[in-house]
Structure 1
Amino acid sequence: MITTPTSAASQAANPSAVSNNQRSALASDFETFLRMLTVQARNQDPLEPLDSSEYASQLAQFSMVEQQVKANELLSGLALTLGAVNLNQLAGWVGMDVQVAAPFRFETHPIPIFAEAEPTADRAELVIRDDQDTVVDRIPVPSDKSEFEWAGVSSTGDPLPAGNYSASLESFKGGKLLSDTPASAFSRVVEAQVSEDAVVLKLDSGAEVSVDKVTQIRTGA
């Protein structure tokens, strides 16, 4: 799903509508101005005719308005073009699998999980938590590895239900905890939207992340 403001979407669908309305209004105003100017010239006092400089001033003012309308029209067209580019960029994210440190969706298949232990660590443990932030599995892993596989079972070996989980990697040295680093996994992008000049991705786990948090992208299966 791609989220965009309704007004922008409707204008992008019919970009000529605003332009046509502006040209129509400008033409109507110009004709009205000419009629008023003609009536003014016909009904002026012959003994005290209007100064020609006053006509020139009125024409100059209208010319300025005309140029401003044209400038606004060009800016509107540019904004619509940029909006269309943003839509294309957003559409490219939907359906992709992205690697990000955020809650991930587990169904039935093993989940690849990515994290790096502290360089000085002599022991590491992969910690899995459910959507209630309860630890459901704790797996000793090599401290010199950065990719692991979680089979979706608890510490007692029982299969865990499908749902949303998160992972972190704890680094130890001499029995002392050095760090607890969030681990990343691949999640499917189901929605993309522009928020405060940043693209935000909504994942199949329900998590929302900024694109600058994504470390890898692959085509969704």
Structure 2
Amino acid sequence: MTSITNTSGLGYSSSQPTLPSGTAQAEAASQFETFLKMLTTQIKNQDPLNPMEGTEFAVQLATFSGVEQQVQTNLLLKQLLQGSGGGELGRLSDWIGREVRTSAPVWFDRSPLTLQIDGVANAEAMTLVTLDEQGNEILRESIGLGSGEVDWQGKRANGELLPAGLYSFRVEATKDGEVLSTRNVGAYTRVTGVELAADGARLVLLGGGVATVEDISALRE
């Protein structure tokens, strides 16, 4: 897994590793082939009465293996960062230090979180449902019928704060006691890094949460 992470604070910048140019890679590959030919020729033409020492042969083989591995590593890294996933990785690295609105679980440090609530036509009541990291329902709160950003305090009915942790949210809209719709609610959180997993690039969020681009509905400083 390849990752880009910045933990120094706001307004960070990130950079990708410097890759060898195409010329440099071609030279490395050429040196690799030349080395192989020289080693093969040396073995074929060594003096039968004074053959190459085993230790010397082992050293040359180790050198040969190191050159091969370096060439393969450079090629693999180039493919990784120039492929579709790598391009997305570089683009998303610009999001580090900014806030995104996501329906994925976000970190609650016992300070208010900003949620985006969207109204539902014909609804008579709306309930905000809070889920823990495992997706278990832990809190239900009646909210207004309007739309807009609200500050979620993370408090139970008795005023007790929920413990710090990862939480996600959804809204249930009802009419005449019947549920009209259930929608995920986006919450704002900070991006602390980007990683490239087997299924593509993912954002690393404050507190260790992760989100795909599909989970993001807004971006702000």
> Are the aligned partners of 1:97 and 1:218 in contact in 2 as well (CA < 8 Å)?
yes
Percent identity among equivalent residues?
Answer: 27
The 3-state SS of whatever aligns with 1:215 is strand
**1:203 to 1:176, Cα distance in 2 relative to 1, 3 A:** same
Higher Cα radius of gyration: 1
Report the AA paired with residue 20 of structure 2: N
Residues 192 and 143 of structure 1: CA distance in aligned 2, closer, same or farther (over 3 Å): same
For 2:106, the equivalent position in structure 1 comes to 104
Is the contact between residue 192 and residue 202 of structure 1 (CA under 8 Å) also seen in structure 2? yes
Match of 1:160?
162
In structure 2, C-alpha distance between the alignment counterparts of 1:113 and 1:20, rounded to whole Å:
54
Q: 1:18 aligns with which of 16, 25, 28?
A: 25
Q: 5 Å matches for 1:85-164? A: 88-164=90-166
Q: Partner of 1:13: helix, strand, or coil?
A: coil
Of the structure 1 ranges 123-132 and 15-24, higher mean CA displacement relative to structure 2 is found in 15-24
Distance in 2, matches of 1:188 and 1:128, equals: 20
Q: Secondary structure at the match of 1:156?
A: coil
Relative to its length, the structure with more helix (as a share) is 1
TM-score of the pair, normalised by structure 2: 0.61
Gapped regions of structure 1 (runs ≥ 5)? 29-74
State the SS of the aligned residue for 2:131: strand
**Aligned partner letter, 2:185:** A
How big is the shift at 1:205?
4.2
Cα separation, 1, equivalents of 2:31 and 2:163: 63
**Where in structure 2 are there 5+ consecutive unaligned residues?**
5-15, 35-74
Conserved in 2, the CA contact under 8 Å of 1:95 and 1:188?
A: yes
Q: Which residue of structure 1 aligns with residue 50 of structure 2? A: none
SS in 1 for 2:147: coil
- Report the TM-score when normalising by structure 1: 0.61
How many Å separate the matches in 1 of 2:94 and 2:161?
35
2:64 maps to what in 1? none
Q: Name the CA shift for 1:130/1:213 in 2 (closer, same or farther; >3 Å).
A: closer
RMSD: 3.5
**Residues 205 and 168 of structure 1, relative CA distance in 2, 3 Å threshold:** farther
Secondary structure of the residue that 1:92 maps to in structure 2? helix
